[in-house]
Amino acid sequence: MYHTVVMTCGVSIFVSNNNIFSQKSNNTPDINVSLQEKAEKEQIDSIKEKYLQFARTVDSEILEKPTEVSAEYSMLYALREKGKLGKHPKVILLLTNTVGGEISKELLCYLFEKYFQSHVEALFVDIDVSNPAKLNTTIGDYLLKLSIALEQGEPNSTCFAPIGGYKVMTSFGSIVGSFLNYPTAYLHETNQVLHEIPPIPLDIKDEFVHQNVELLRKCQRNYQPLSELTKAERIFIKQFPSLFHLEDEFVGLTAFGLYLFERSKYEHLFGTKYVASKQVRNFTKQNRRQSIFIYQQMRELVKKLKHGEARQEEIRHELQFQLNPKKINFHLYKGADNGITPFRLAYRYEEEEDVLYANYLWLDHNLYEREAESTSKSPVLKI
């Protein structure tokens, strides 16, 4: 019996040729932007609301044709029909941070909560297919988010369903699911045949990691010129193609390697250290349903700080409050909104030590605006 289901999601719910939504395409809202574009809140809020309104008008069709809603819906329905789905399952969706991903999330949350009495959470991932290095990094980040989602449940009551999204999400995801000892479920949609694949034991010995930690750290940080490595290191790299990626006489970690060494098991060797104040720790405990979102947003902040991927007005939101930089001790981060609550944080990041100090956390934007100025000037982190 599965009480937790983690699934990668695509856009089949509104682009498939044979589901209820496409059959009534004359009544569905127009999407006047590319589904692969980055999602801008103001741009798609009205589209999401129109799709939800439409979904409410096809309740009878959904009940009559449950296998013609979407690939994701069919998976939950098949599990329930086989008596393998818990009464109030937790469903964690992994979607791309795009227009299509945002609209899919709204529709699937509505359908799963209404027809399966599920508690639904969503994690968004950036998959950049523009060049190999960026793809490698973004897949590594996706795999870490996937492992966080899977570990919300026990392997004997949790399954991974790689259904939609980019093909690399399903293929790499299956490897990580198996690596963490979680079963994988596939559904042959045409015949509604459910396949469950047990995990295959995989292992990386700890002594291997400790013996080669310096090389692994270097390759984790950036691509290294092969010419600057020792002969022993070059031989070692050729022996482990699953961990190392060669590109034009440079070497870095593969997506699987990046994921592997960012796991909590190796945090003391490779990971950013997170130091949270008493307020952040207590607030996270009080908002357990948002704990995945909170952890994801802290990791997202560190990624933006390390790789320079963020706009200054996001990671230095104190600029909006026109605060004197010399009088503040903590920066303000304006994070994402998961559709239920926004993420706001007062923080300090020490690059040399690779430590993020989280001083104060808000999930209420109005309260944040009232308290942000005084909190950013707080002299010390209250552990």
Name 195's bridge partners.
186
Maximum Cα–Cα distance for the chain, whole Å?
Answer: 68
d(CA 295, CA 133): 25
Q: Check if the beta carbon of residue 36 is closer than 8 Å to that of residue 103.
A: no
Helix (H/G/I), strand (E/B), else coil: 340: coil
Q: Check if the beta carbon of residue 307 is closer than 8 Å to that of residue 317.
A: no
* Axis-axis angle for helices 132-150, 167-179 (nearest 10): 50
Q: Check if the beta carbon of residue 56 is closer than 8 Å to that of residue 107.
A: no
d(CA 290, CA 22): 33
d(CA 68, CA 115): 14
Torsion of CA 210, 216, 217, 223, to 10 degrees: 170
DSSP for 57-116, please give it.
Answer: TTHHHHHH-GGGS-HHHHHHHHHHHTT-EEEEEEEEEEEESBHHHHHHHHHHHHHHHHHH
DSSP for 129-140, please give it.
Answer: -SSHHHHHHHHH
Q: Check if the beta carbon of residue 55 is closer than 8 Å to that of residue 110.
A: yes
Structure-token pair, residue 55: 């979904």
Question: What is the structure's pLDDT at 338?
Answer: 82
d(CA 365, CA 379): 23
pTM of the model: 0.63
Question: What is the structure's pLDDT at 29?
Answer: 58
d(CA 210, CA 47): 51
Structure-token pair, residue 182: 């979680």
* pLDDT tens track, the chain, 383 positions: 899 999 999 887 776 667 777 666 565 556 655 666 776 666 677 777 777 887 888 888 888 888 888 889 999 999 999 899 999 999 999 998 888 888 889 889 999 999 999 999 999 888 877 777 778 788 888 888 898 899 889 988 999 999 888 788 888 888 888 888 888 898 876 677 888 888 866 667 777 788 888 888 888 878 899 999 988 888 888 878 778 888 788 998 887 888 777 765 666 666 678 899 999 999 999 998 888 889 889 988 988 887 666 677 788 888 887 877 777 889 999 998 887 899 999 999 988 778 899 999 999 999 998 888 777 666 555 55
- E strand or H helix that includes residue 337: strand 331-337
Q: Check if the beta carbon of residue 339 is closer than 8 Å to that of residue 323.
A: no
